[in-house]
Structure 1
Amino acid sequence: MPASAQPKTAVPQPSEGATAEGATALRPHAEQAFAGELAALAAQDDRPRPARWRLSPWAVATYLLGGTLPDGTVITPKYVGPRRIVEVAVTTLATDRALLLLGVPGTAKTWVSEHLAAAVSGDSTLLVQGTAGTPEEAIRYGWNYARLLAHGPSRDALVPSPVMRAMAEGMTARVEELTRIPADVQDTLITILSEKTLPIPELGEEVQAVRGFNLIATANDRDRGVNDLSSALRRRFNTVVLPLPESAEAEVDIVTRRVEQLGRSLDLPAAPDGMVEIRRVVTVFRELRDG
């Protein structure tokens, strides 16, 4: 069984409306793989939408949790878990409050983050991947040094970060593994989230976030090598804790669907005794988590 089939609480299913580009990609983005479902939801969605949202909060929640539309279109569940968690996450984004998805590894934080961004903004690629070496420029902005040396500081020499682009375009930015980023770099987000502005002192300018901008971060506090969030930064987020599956049967069902989807994407033959191995792996992971 591949390592990537580790138990998670998300259930990805390919969409019939996936784009040609997404169909050839080894791992298409959510807005590519589920383009058909997103389009069907947009066509049926007559509810009010926040500024620059592609779907209403109701449609975003339906996209994550699954359901059947009035025209008979089946929306596959992207997250299997308490409905209340998805509702709180969507409501947080609709009220311009930044969202922090917190949980141990295997709770589908990244998966939920990606699908929320895809449903809200139609683009899940404005991503900052947090590591111990993530610099401040990854969150704020960098410079094209050839242009900087030739012409000095200017807008043409500035290289916007994904967060800066999201602010200017009213999109949803994502920061993965926030607690792996050094604490001084984490705090770069404080001004962005509280003042909704990003100063550019070299140019004597600033970028003000337009309506529709928001940020989704993921983090866990169980692994080694994590950096605690400052109280000032944590207050800027609404934190939603993603739980592990409630029962072994629920986890087996989730992993079975994930393995089937991975097998189809890699053109692997079906394993006749796969369920036995899945139950064994799920049992091992649950026993390890329980100590």
Structure 2
Amino acid sequence: MSESPSPTTVLRAHAEDAHADELAALAAVDDRPRPPRWRLSPWAVTTYLLGGTLDDGTEVTPKYLGSRRLMEVAVASLATDRALLLLGVPGTAKTWVSEHLAAAVSGSSTLVVQGTAGTPEESLRYGWNYARLLAEGPTRAALVPSPVMRAMETGTLVRIEELTRIPADVQDALITILSEKHLPIPELDSEVQAQQGFNVIATANNRDKGVNDLSSALKRRFNTLVLPLPDTLAQEVEIVRTRVDSLGRSLELPPGLESLAEIERVVTIFRELRSGVTADQRTTVKSPSATLSTAEAISVMTNGLSLAAHFGDGVVRADDVAAGLVGAVVKDPVQDRIVWQEYLETVVKDRTEWTDLYRACRELG
């Protein structure tokens, strides 16, 4: 019999496993009111997300670096009868926040529906075990519950990723669930009623507007919270540093980010190309088609860390981040390449302290 992998051997542990000690410490000191079936109080959930020092000295690491009020609104919304929709451009930690919210509130983040253009209605309602259906007819034993149905039965949170990627007619299967808090099963002349503690956290990319817009009926059943890009360079650098350190440990890469210089340069480039102007507001630059999100900056730096560890001396330098940087910016081989070349020649080249990065990017063509 094969054994289940331990959290220390999996590539990426679920939030409730990776931060089990913090969640247990919070539960031990949490004496505030908790909504029905919540593992922690809203105060403790917010502390778990934003970090802090508990009365017993336990350090809770921040999972989200940003506005405290935004997280308080998100947590408060889940304590009501309305679902929560996290909206934002790619890379604003929507999925990350939804996972940690589910872990803190319900103790499990694994009830997930991944939205795609091919997501069927069964993913939101229920399906059937067709072998048993043919043998027994429509019975409860032949029914295959969706993650949403299981969350309703157990009074827990369910996550729906990329809601606007799901076809509109499938999205509407949520309307009755969110408004009436029950799921009809007409084949069995029955229904599933949501238990206390049930709610939905959905995420959506606002750059997908027009793909499968939510109906007004469905929008009314969500409290929508827009997660912004990091406000400052320092905040975004800290987000990237924290995540790269975490990913590096999980991949067993030796630490190579003693200096924040390379992270600061990558984040600066992303922010300038996103905004269309340099940090000093003196030079206008063109923006590429790429999103250039914080998540992509994390990917560039993680790739650079791997290159430095396996093919260098372990210290991340310009040569290590150049390839990932170019790959992140140049998604369209024609238009984006023109934008990137102009940025190199008008901005990067003129920064004397960036000579090594300019040379490394130019050598890549």
In the alignment, which of 82, 89, 104 is matched to residue 104 of structure 1?
89
Higher helix share: 2
Q: CA deviation at 1:264?
A: 1.1
Where do 1:78-157 residues align within 5 Å?
78-157=63-142
Q: What SS class does the counterpart of residue 53 from structure 1 fall into?
A: coil
Q: Distance in 2 between matches of 1:254 and 1:231?
A: 35
Name the stretch that deviates more: 271-280 or 166-175: 271-280
CA 157–51 in structure 1, closer or farther in 2 if over 3 Å, else same? same
Q: CA deviation at 1:250?
A: 1.2
Q: CA deviation at 1:53?
A: 0.4
Aligned counterpart, 2:229: 244
**Does 1 or 2 have the higher relative contact order (CA < 8 Å, sep 6+)?**
1
| 1:67 is the counterpart of 2:52 | yes
Where do 1:248-263 residues align within 5 Å?
248-263=233-248
Name the stretch that deviates more: 43-52 or 267-276: 267-276
Query: What is the TM-score of this pair, normalised by structure 2?
Result: 0.73
Share of identical aligned residues, percent? 75
Q: Distance in 1 between matches of 2:85 and 2:219?
A: 9
Name the stretch that deviates more: 131-140 or 276-285: 276-285
Deviations 1:228-256 (A, max 9, x none): 11110000000011011011121111101
Whether contact under 8 Å (1:180, 1:225) holds in the other structure is: no
Where do 1:40-55 residues align within 5 Å?
40-55=25-40
Q: What SS class does the counterpart of residue 118 from structure 1 fall into?
A: helix
Q: CA deviation at 1:285?
A: 2.1
Q: Distance in 2 between matches of 1:48 and 1:118?
A: 18
Aligned counterpart, 2:156: 171
Give the length in aligned residue pairs. 273
Matched residue type, 1:96:
D
Q: CA deviation at 1:281?
A: 2.0
Q: Distance in 1 between matches of 2:172 and 2:184?
A: 14
Structure 2: 5+ residue stretches without partners: 276-286, 288-365
Q: CA deviation at 1:107?
A: 0.5
Deviations 1:67-106 (A, max 9, x none): 1111010111110000000000010011122000001011
Whether contact under 8 Å (2:164, 2:208) holds in the other structure is: no
Aligned counterpart, 2:217: 232
The CA RMSD measured in Å over matched residues stands at 1.5
Aligned counterpart, 2:359: none
Matched residue type, 1:219:
A
Aligned counterpart, 2:202: 217
Q: What SS class does the counterpart of residue 85 from structure 2 fall into?
A: strand
In the alignment, which of 7, 12, 15 is matched to residue 27 of structure 1?
12
Q: Distance in 2 between matches of 1:49 and 1:224?
A: 36
Q: What SS class does the counterpart of residue 192 from structure 2 fall into?
A: strand
Whether contact under 8 Å (1:31, 1:122) holds in the other structure is: yes
Q: Distance in 1 between matches of 2:104 and 2:141?
A: 32
Structure 1: 5+ residue stretches without partners: 1-19
Name the stretch that deviates more: 270-279 or 235-244: 270-279
Whether contact under 8 Å (2:162, 2:203) holds in the other structure is: yes
Q: CA deviation at 1:52?
A: 0.4
Aligned counterpart, 1:201: 186
CA 75–273 in structure 1, closer or farther in 2 if over 3 Å, else same? closer
Q: CA deviation at 1:258?
A: 1.0
Q: CA deviation at 1:286?
A: 1.6
Q: Distance in 1 between matches of 2:135 and 2:186?
A: 19
Q: Distance in 2 between matches of 1:41 and 1:273?
A: 31
CA 96–272 in structure 1, closer or farther in 2 if over 3 Å, else same? closer
